[in-house]
Chains A and B, each alone.
Chain A
Amino acid sequence: NAGVTQTPKFQVLKTGQSMTLQCAQDMNHNSMYWYRQDPGMGLRLIYYSASEGTTDKGEVPNGYNVSRLNKREFSLRLESAAPSQTSVYFCASSLTGQGYEQYFGPGTRLTVT
């Protein structure tokens, strides 16, 4: 099992460019999440998906869109990147319900210049 995989590992964008971060999991989890991690801020939830076909906003959704393509895949799109979106992005998945641990991908380090 690969667990949670993310692509790309690194990306540099110019302000205004767009890109999609890809995430896939092979653990048959219903719930998937996108977080961003900034120094001194911990992890902040951008969007999550409790099941295929559903998505909900987290703490910091502005400037992002998501797609739950199927049970395995959950993508994050930046339509018009801004320097404030420079961050490390993590995808995670879990079983649905209370008390389940989240499994994290290795992260995507994004720099917007």
Chain B
Amino acid sequence: GQQLNQSPQSMFIQEGEDVSMNCTSSSIFNTWLWYKQDPGEGPVLLIALYKAGELTSNGRLTAQFGITRKDSFLNISASIPSDVGIYFCAGTRGSTLGRLYFGRGTQLTVWP
């Protein structure tokens, strides 16, 4: 079953606004990943985080690996219409080599 709690479930924002979403777990994760899924496509990796406390940027996207290793957040600055989609957090645990655990996703809608 799902081990990651992702919030919010959906967001409706205006173009130009900043966006923040997060993921939490009761378990420690070794890796945090953030994916985006466009309609009719498979999820595509946005950012990967490998160390507790790590802060990584990819253009307008910034993500952090929580210091407790139980959470992560993703920020999108100055949103644009093409940011629309579903954003998933995912993580790996040392006890289950190779497997990714996914959050339920955040549906982002951007109004022009």
- A, B: real partners: no
